[in-house]
Amino acid sequence: MPGGTILWLPEAQPRRLRGPIAVFKFVRVLTAALAVSAGITLAGVQPVQAAPAAAAQITLSPATGPAGSAVTVSGTGFKVSTSGTVIAGSTTFAFRTASTGAFSTAITIPAAATGKLTITAKTSSIQASSVFTVAQPAPTLPPVSTARLRFGVATANGPLATTELDEVAQLAGESPSSVLFYKDFLQAPPISEMNAARARGAVPLVTWEPWAWGGGLEQPAYSLDRIAAGDFDARITQWGQSLAAWGYPVQLRFAHEMNGNWYPWAEGVNGNEAGDYVQAWRHVHDVVAATGASNVSWVWSPNVPYWGSTDLAGLFPGADYVDVVALDGYNWGTSASWSGWISPQDLFAPGIAELRALAPGLPILIAETASSEAGGSKAAWNTDLVSYLAAQPDVMGFIWFHIQKEADWRINSSDASAAAFKSALAARRAS
């Protein structure tokens, strides 16, 4: 049968058809079979539908940037070989499509454009649009000061947080010359953070903490005697090799505030005994030095001495193992139940005197400081801090702890604080 269909005729038995009724039945069955066969055959042969024309579209390269940016507009699906117009705000640009209906043309984003700007390309009967995002230009940052008393900062998210550091530069009226940040003994050498600090003209000040963050005060795995015994030499060597390969100046502040009792590297906690701190410091120093990391400046940084703190003399590793001596000190004001307002001079003078006696001739750094607003005038405190430190010939600089933590230590905890801080730095630049 046509189309390869086999017909089964139920009436076509091996017998003769008799009479007009039998003939009628045979014709009816045959007609139905032929109809089914034709339907099956035609169902398999459908006419090919023409593909719909592609909708016109345009792309922008780039799709974001400041006002005035040069942008390439590329389009497809337009009327072939015809002229058209690209509209960007109140400005128009001509183009002509190729024989394929495609085009590419250069435009300029209007200087007054802001936010989201719709770019439209159209010919006489076809148009398509895309959106260009007008980005705000990066602020021009003030330079790093060349004043003798250097200004540095610690922010919540470290050197990679460019927005935080940009804010500080604007608040201070100068970019920080040093960026302080923190790493524990589990973390890899912070090359990306150091690169970010250096790109801003700042020296990275890495606080290297020999413990595991979040593990609490008692961490026997990180006791000082284990560090001195070499249990962590592989990690220390890795750090030394990485810092040496990096090659630029970096300050390494190992195991800071060791004269307190709140870190597991303090003597008297975590199984540590008198003399253990010096042995651990010297061992870490020697392992790093053996890698050739002569670009590392070692910063020994106790807390400002207080009643009950460990005597600094027994914790100082010696001038051969230290390049900079430092102090951490905060004016808590009345923000804590145990604290009271204290002037910058009363906060730092006793500790500075001890450092001068322990390490005569070594530069002194205030490695962490800030003031609370509670209990006095933070604005006046900021002014007094810069004035007092600038008058100390051996104090090389200070690092402001610009973080809202136990108190609001930030420079701009109030408008008055921010204004006074900026004015104080400007005054010391002018002196």
pLDDT digits over 1-11, tens only?
444 433 333 44
pLDDT in tens, 395-425: 999 999 999 999 999 999 999 999 999 999 9
User: Residue 243 to residues 42, 317, 327, 381: CA-CA distances in angstroms?
Assistant: 79, 22, 24, 37
99: which residues sit within 8 A by CB, 6+ positions away? 80, 81
Distance in angstroms between the alpha carbons of the first and the last residue of the chain: 111
Residues 57-134, CATH architecture:
Sandwich (2.60)
- For the chain, give the percent of residues with pLDDT over 90: 86
Q: Do domains 57-134 and 150-430 have the same CATH topology?
A: no
Place of tokens 């200070």: 398
Q: What is the DSSP code (8-state) at residue 135? A: P
pLDDT in tens, 165-201: 999 999 999 999 999 999 999 999 999 999 999 999 9
311: which residues sit within 8 A by CB, 6+ positions away? 259
Judge whether 360 and 371 are in contact, CB under 8 Å: no
Distance CA 262, CA 173 (A): 35
Give me the helices (H) in 128-161, please: none
Categorize the per-residue pLDDT at 49 as very low, low, confident or very high, splitting at 50, 70 and 90.
low
**Average pLDDT taken over every residue of the chain:** 91
Question: What is the fold of 150-430?
Answer: TIM Barrel (3.20.20)
- For the chain, give the percent of residues with pLDDT over 70: 88
Distance CA 99, CA 326 (A): 74
Calculate ∠ Cα 14-15-18, nearest 5°.
150
Judge whether 365 and 294 are in contact, CB under 8 Å: no
In DSSP terms, 120 is beta-bridged to 87, 129
**What tokens appear for 225 in the block?**
């005697």
**Looking at the whole model, is its pTM more than 0.85?**
no
User: At how many degrees (to 10) do helices 415-430 and 378-390 cross?
Assistant: 20
Residue extents of the structural domains in the chain:
57-134, 150-430
Categorize the per-residue pLDDT at 53 as very low, low, confident or very high, splitting at 50, 70 and 90.
low
Q: Does residue 357 or residue 37 have the better pLDDT? A: 357
pLDDT in tens, 307-362: 999 999 999 999 999 999 999 999 999 999 999 999 999 999 999 999 999 999 99
